[in-house]
């Protein structure tokens, strides 16, 4: 099977969810002749490349920059084929409205699933190459020579025979009139000069001086500000509120009911909007889920662990026969709780509405979905709306949802002709997440007399993201994304272990807590379940955990290579320092192979993580410096979840409202991270997410080595290590 | 009406006295480099200096700041991004999304002012800002580099 992250490639549904009645736009391959044909004025050479007379190269970036470095990486890919001077490169975002108007020339705007580069490397490079052809053709025409006699280097075109040179800046206007080449041959990776280099990112300087403008920083003449509160009880709604009690508070312009569940205040400043909202008497109708709690959800999932009915991903051999065959049988139950994305920048968007037009400025991971949400909320056709993207103060999957965009437009409709900036409080952000779903997992394994793993059953019980967020992508009721990293042969992520009898299945249990794609998604807990339980099996077999895995991995050399690299990096075959213990884990996800090895010690019931060595094989690497940063950041994200992350549910709502109760990893606990990048070529894997999945297993396995305790119910903060 | 000295300038702002300094800086003074992220003194995104002391401005009412106290925001740290920390931050390419970074830099600047040569333990104890992108190791490296820079220069 193939995993469903590629569902959007054809007949892409532009919309924040199927339920909102999205707008279907056919997605043809965006690099076509029509798409390249000129509909804008020079100096646009083509949709991807604008060259100014001073030789500045503006590269258009369709995906969203949220810290992951995609802006720089995608620009490198275009610049490589363009053969321009990297020091003259800048970038800009086309708007989703322009994309619609130009027949989706820029392809998919959606930025998630670590797909920015691996899904668009081909057509953005073609865009750069086509622009180069047109620039050279323009110079050749001017000189009356053939293009093949001309060469180009760093934006300078040379005709060697006649010793003439010109620049891209001088040729841009003429190039725009050239016919785009029908097809272009991309460079052999061995000839890359810009791709594969650890170039500095293009967006650092402004982030050091406070000049970088985020969505929360936007300001427009006459702009008003808004704060909202939605019913915190999932499935509940507003019972009543008393607008009159706050409408004369300083600065308040309007108290607005946005829909059944949400009330907001529009004021001159955000602080006054929030102050009035806090003072607003609201009573909630707690709705049908008021008795739902973490305990009731855990019960629901527990039942699924033993249920007869389940969606079966793999069923090879016969696990049951093995389990009753007299060998050693081990069984353990693991659990992973709800997590909030907790981006540093809370959800926000600014909207301007008139009866003719609606415009939105938003940090969004999916500009086109934002456009669809804005149009729907405005009640206007898409062509009368547009979305202006701003850099995100973190995304991690949360900003693929469009609730905050819809709300901003609903508020702006109350004051036509005036910009309204909506910012959520942290509390609103914590209570209205698109939560990493909760699952439990029962692992059962059988060992023969020689300690070989003969059978494994992995029963996942719990929540499906697709069932809630994108039901049209389900496959006969099954959510394939649940099985990330566990498939037999998906290029997205397949299991490294060859086990003669193997069953992997999912009992879907969907509690009424809205789930979403959370950086790393289901790979995170699948890696914990698989890699920690393999450690349990190795221990039961009395075999070194690395050796135990190696035996099962002979058919998967790429998985094994990263595991070996991480193990070697940590010094697996040499003794650790006194009191220090080691653990490791590996998995494949988002198209890349990753592994980690960790060193920890425990004293007075407290764990210290000393050092982590991580290995990644992403196939091709575009910018190793940015990969290193993604790998390091992945440990912070993954370890925050493993150590602290937990949204508990009580009374049908999330109980954590801010960072005082939703704790995350801080500086003092951050281990040293050593990153090994080992690109083996021939494929394109993502790097923003996969490493998160190996953070927890490596550390939890090291913790077992240190304490003999198996932590199976996350997070770690709930356990006594003393 | 409140009188404030901010980045070397005296400013008068018409604002409710219990408004947090953060929102006065962002909304009345238009200096948006200082960020809102939690509002409860947990994350440090709103860190500024008051008389050289790193302070979380989201929980400090504007009325608690006297007109002669010197408020410094990221915009006033250096005229052109040339503070040793900003240079070290650039050299180590610390930011990812960047949203926490102004607060990180201001917290680090406060630390170096008190302790020009901080140990790892000092950094751990003083830099408790949250970065969800996970830039901590590079924050640490940049602080150490800036400290070495300043110490050598001094
Ligand atoms: S916004 Fe002030 S500490 Fe978080
Ligand atoms: S750089 Fe994104 S939160 Fe720190």
Residues A155 and A181 in one domain: yes
CATH code that applies to domain B2-77: 3.10.20.30
Mutate to test the interface with A, among B132, B140, B141 (most CBs of A within 10 A): B132
A25-34, A176-185, B80-89, range with the lowest pLDDT: A25-34
Contact residues on chain B for A69, CB-CB shorter than 8 A: 96
Q: Quick check: B79 contacting A, CB < 8 Å?
A: no
Residue by residue, what is the 3-state secondary structure of A519-553?
CCCCHHHHHHHHHHHHHHHHHHHCCCHHHHHHHHC
Rounded to a whole number, what is the distance in angstroms from the first to the last CA of chain B? Answer: 41
Q: Indicate if A404 and A552 belong to the same structural domain.
A: no
- Written as six digits, the tokens of B68 are 């002669």
Determine the Cα angle at A468 with ends A12 and A712, to 5°.
120
Query: Which pair of structure tokens corresponds to residue B64?
Result: 């608690």
Cβ of B93 closer than 6 Å to ligand 2, yes or no, is no
DSSP classification of residue B28: I
Q: What is the dihedral of CA B88, B90, B96, B98, to 10 degrees?
A: 90
Residues A114, A201 share a domain:
yes
Same domain, yes or no, for A202 and A219? no
User: Six-digit token pair at A74?
Assistant: 């995608």
- State the sign of the Cα–Cα–Cα–Cα dihedral A260, A261, A264, A270: negative
- A257 shares a domain with A121: no
**Which of A:56-95 have CB within 8 Å of B?**
66-69
Residue A161 CB partners (closer than 8 Å, separation 6+): A145, A149
Given CB atoms, is B132 within the 8 Å cutoff of chain A?
yes
Are A272 and A330 members of one domain? Answer: no
Binary contact (A205, B130; C-beta < 8 A): no
Q: Which among A208, A269, A394 has the least Cβ separation from residue B133?
A: A394
Share above pLDDT 70 across residues of chain A, in percent, rounded to a whole number? 94
Residues 390-429 of A with CB under 8 A from B: 391-396, 423, 425-426
Domain count for chain A, please give it.
3
CA distance A491 to A683: 9
From chain A, the residues in CB contact with B47 under 8 A are none
CA distance A313 to chain B (A): 33
Query: Taking the model in full, what pTM does it have?
Result: 0.94
Ligand 1 neighbours (beta carbon < 6 A):
B 36-39, 41-46, 56, 58
Cβ contact B42–A204 (<8 Å) = no
CA distance A21 to A14: 9
ipTM, two decimals:
0.97
Q: Identify which of A211, A425, A666 has the shortest CB distance to residue B130.
A: A666
Q: Which pLDDT value is given to residue A43? A: 76
Position B152 scores a pLDDT of 62
H-run or E-run covering A262: strand A262-267
* Lowest-pLDDT choice from A122-131, A550-559, A645-654, A700-709: A122-131
Q: What is the pLDDT of residues A388-426, one digit of tens each?
A: 999 999 999 999 999 999 999 999 999 999 999 999 999
In angstroms, rounded to a whole number, what is the distance separating the alpha carbons of residues B121 and A211? 31
| Element containing residue A643 per DSSP (H, E) | helix A624-643
Mean pLDDT of A275-287: 98
**Which tens digits make up the pLDDT trace of B67-109?**
999 999 999 999 999 999 999 999 999 999 999 999 999 999 9
Instruction: Answer whether residue A119 shows pLDDT above 90.
Output: no
Domain for residue A2, yes or no? no
Q: What CATH number has the domain bearing residue A227?
A: 3.30.365.10
CB count, 10 Å around CB of A654? 22
DSSP A558: H
Under 8 Å between Cβ of A663 and A717: yes
Cβ within 8 Å, pair A209-B132: no
Q: What is the DSSP string of B124-142?
A: HHH-----SS--HHHHHHH
Please report the pLDDT score of residue B58 as a whole number. Answer: 98
Q: Are residues A59 and A95 in the same domain?
A: yes
> Does A203 touch chain B if contact means CB atoms closer than 8 Å?
yes
Range of the domain at A159: 42-207
- A486 by DSSP, 3-state: which? coil
Same domain? A321 vs A365: no
- The domain segmentation of chain B, as residue ranges, is 2-77, 84-153
pLDDT at A133 over 50: yes
Find how far residue A584's CA is from the centre of its chain: 24
A330 and A356 both lie in a single domain: no
CATH fold of B84-153:
DNA polymerase; domain 1 (1.10.150)
């Amino acid at each position: 099977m193939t995993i469903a992250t590629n569902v959007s490639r054809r007949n892409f549904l532009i919309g924040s969810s199927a339920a909102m009645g999205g707008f279907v736009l056919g997605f043809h391959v965006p690099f076509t002749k029509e798409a390249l044909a000129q509909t804008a004025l020079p100096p646009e050479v083509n949709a991807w490349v604008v060259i100014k007379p001073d030789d500045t190269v503006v590269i258009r970036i369709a995906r969203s920059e949220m810290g992951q470095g995609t802006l720089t990486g995608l620009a490198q890919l275009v610049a490589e084929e363009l053969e321009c001077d990297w020091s003259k490169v800048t970038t800009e975002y086309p708007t989703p409205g322009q994309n619609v108007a130009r027949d989706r020339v820029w392809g998919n705007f959606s930025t998630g699933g670590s797909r920015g580069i691996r899904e668009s490397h081909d057509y953005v490079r073609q865009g750069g190459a086509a622009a180069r052809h047109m620039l050279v053709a323009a110079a050749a025409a001017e000189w009356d020579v053939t293009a093949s006699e001309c060469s180009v280097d760093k934006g300078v075109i040379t005709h060697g025979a006649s010793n003439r040179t010109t620049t891209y800046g001088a040729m841009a206007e003429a190039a725009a009139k050239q016919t785009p080449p029908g097809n272009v041959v991309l460079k052999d990776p061995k000839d890359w000069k810009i791709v594969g280099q650890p170039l500095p990112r293009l967006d650092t300087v402004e982030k050091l001086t406070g000049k970088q403008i985020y969505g929360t920083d936007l300001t427009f003449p006459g702009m008003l500000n808004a704060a909202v509160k939605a019913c915190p009880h999932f499935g509940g709604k507003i019972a009543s509120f008393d607008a009159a009690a706050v409408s004369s508070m300083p600065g308040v312009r309007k108290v607005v009911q946005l829909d059944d569940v949400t009330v907001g205040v529009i004021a001159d400043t955000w602080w006054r909007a929030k102050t009035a909202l806090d003072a607003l008497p609201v009573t909630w109708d707690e709705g049908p889920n008021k008795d739902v709690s973490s305990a009731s959800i855990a019960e629901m999932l527990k039942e699924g662990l033993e249920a007869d009915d389940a969606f079966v991903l793999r069923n090879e051999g016969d696990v049951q026969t093995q389990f009753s065959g007299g060998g050693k049988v081990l069984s353990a139950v693991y659990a992973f709780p709800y997590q909030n994305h907790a981006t540093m920048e809370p959800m926000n968007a600014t909207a301007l509405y008139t009866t003719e037009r609606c415009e939105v400025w938003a940090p969004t991971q999916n500009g086109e979905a934002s456009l669809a949400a804005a149009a729907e909320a405005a009640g206007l056709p898409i062509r009368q709306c547009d979305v202006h993207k701003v850099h995100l103060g973190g995304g991690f999957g949360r900003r693929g949802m469009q609730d905050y965009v819809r709300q901003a437009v609903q508020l702006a409709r109350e004051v036509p002709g005036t910009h309204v900036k909506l910012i959520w409080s942290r509390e609103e952000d914590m209570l209205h997440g698109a939560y990493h779903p909760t699952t439990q997992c029962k692992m059962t394994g059988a060992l023969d007399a020689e300690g070989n793993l003969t059978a494994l059953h992995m029963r996942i019980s719990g929540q499906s993201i697709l069932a809630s967020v994108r039901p049209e992508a389900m496959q006969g009721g099954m959510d394939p994304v649940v099985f990330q990293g566990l498939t037999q042969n998906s290029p997205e992520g397949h299991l490294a272990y060859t086990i003669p009898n193997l069953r992997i299945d999912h009992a879907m249990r969907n509690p009424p807590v809205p789930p979403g794609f959370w950086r790393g998604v289901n790979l995170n807990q699948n890696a914990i379940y698989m890699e920690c339980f393999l450690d349990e099996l190795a221990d039961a077999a009395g075999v070194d955990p690395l050796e135990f895995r190696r035996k099962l991995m002979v058919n998967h050399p790429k998985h094994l290579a990263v595991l070996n690299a991480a193990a070697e990096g940590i010094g697996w075959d040499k003794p650790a320092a006194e009191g220090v213990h080691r653990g490791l884990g590996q998995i494949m996800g988002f198209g890349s192979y990753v592994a980690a090895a960790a060193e920890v010690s425990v004293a007075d019931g407290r764990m210290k993580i000393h050092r982590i060595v991580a290995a990644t094989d992403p196939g091709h690497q575009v910018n190793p410096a940015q990969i290193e940063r993604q790998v390091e950041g992945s440990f912070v994200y993954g370890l925050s979840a493993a150590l602290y992350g937990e949204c508990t549910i009580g009374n049908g709502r999330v109980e954590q409202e801010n960072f005082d109760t939703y704790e995350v990893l801080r500086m003092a606990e951050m281990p040293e991270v050593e990153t090994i990048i080992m690109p083996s070529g021939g494929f394109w894997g993502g790097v923003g997410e996969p490493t998160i999945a190996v953070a927890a297993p490596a550390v939890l396995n090291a913790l077992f080595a240190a304490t003999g305790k198996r932590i199976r119910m996350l997070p770690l903060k709930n356990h006594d290590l003393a | 009406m409140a009188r404030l000295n901010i980045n070397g300038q005296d400013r008068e702002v018409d604002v409710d006295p219990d408004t947090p300094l953060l929102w006065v800086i962002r909304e009345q003074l238009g200096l948006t480099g200082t960020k809102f992220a939690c509002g409860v003194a947990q994350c440090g995104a709103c860190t500024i200096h008051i008389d050289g002391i790193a302070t979380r401005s989201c929980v400090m009412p504007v009325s608690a700041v006297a007109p002669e106290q010197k408020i410094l925001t990221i915009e006033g740290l250096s005229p052109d991004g040339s503070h040793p920390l900003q240079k070290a931050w650039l050299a180590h390419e610390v930011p990812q999304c960047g949203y926490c970074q102004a607060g990180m830099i201001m917290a680090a600047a406060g630390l170096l002012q008190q302790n020009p040569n901080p140990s790892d333990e000092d950094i751990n104890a003083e830099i408790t800002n949250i970065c969800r992108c996970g830039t901590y190791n590079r924050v640490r490296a940049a602080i150490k580099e800036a400290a070495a820079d300043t110490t050598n220069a001094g």
